[in-house]
Amino acid sequence: MKLDKIREIANELVGQLRPYCDRIEIAGSIRRKKPDCGDVEIVCIPRKVSIMGDLFPGHDCKVRDPEFIRTVNSWPAMKGDAQGKYMQRFMRDVQVDIFTADKDNWGLILGIRTGPAEYSHKVLAEGWCAKGYHSKDGYLRKGLTLVRVPEEADLFKLIGLPWVEPNERGPAKSGPRAS
């Protein structure tokens, strides 16, 4: 699908989710401004709402906003539960991949999901491995220690790479390797 058309769909979907997210961005080939795109990729931090605090002060429990869940579940499902880390839906003849993050892994998830896949594997993942990090359950770790990656620029800095704009990411434009 042409970039303008698929971006229009992506913006519509992001608009539906935005009220229920602390943060949300379009990723993938749309973010890289590819002329033709195969799907919509969205990275978001779903808002958490408090429950039980009114009934049991001091014993508050935070859960994913039920309106986020309702909105995602109103779209035809292909894979995943709206309470999970990944869900796939089908809207207006387009596959929609939704990846959830939190403030500690936002930069990692957005970087990986912006892609392209070869860049994510050959530049980003090989870069963090070369620096002694590993990825587990959507987070970077060094040994058993969780390493916060709050912004995408933090990921590049962590692996010793200069910032690369999304539309410049690709196998031929990968830039210097982490040393």
Give the DSSP letter string of 40-86.
EEEEEEEPEEEESTTTSTT--EEEE-HHHHHHHHTSPEEE--TTSSE
Cα–Cα distance measured from residue 52 to residue 44, given in angstroms and rounded to the nearest whole number: 25
Phi-psi domain of 52 (left: phi exceeds 0; alpha: psi -120 through 50; beta: other): left
Claim to verify: residue 78 and residue 112 sit in the same structural domain? no
Q: Which CATH number covers residue 151?
A: 3.30.210.10
Do 86 and 18 fall within a single domain?
yes
Q: How confident is the model at residue 174 (pLDDT cuts 50, 70, 90)?
A: very low
Residue-wise pLDDT tens digits, 116-148? 999 999 999 999 999 999 999 999 999 999 999
Q: How far apart are CA 152 and CA 69, in angstroms?
A: 26
Give me the pLDDT at residue 61, please: 81
Domain that holds residue 133: 106-173
pTM of the model: 0.90
Written as one letter, the residue type at 73 is: N
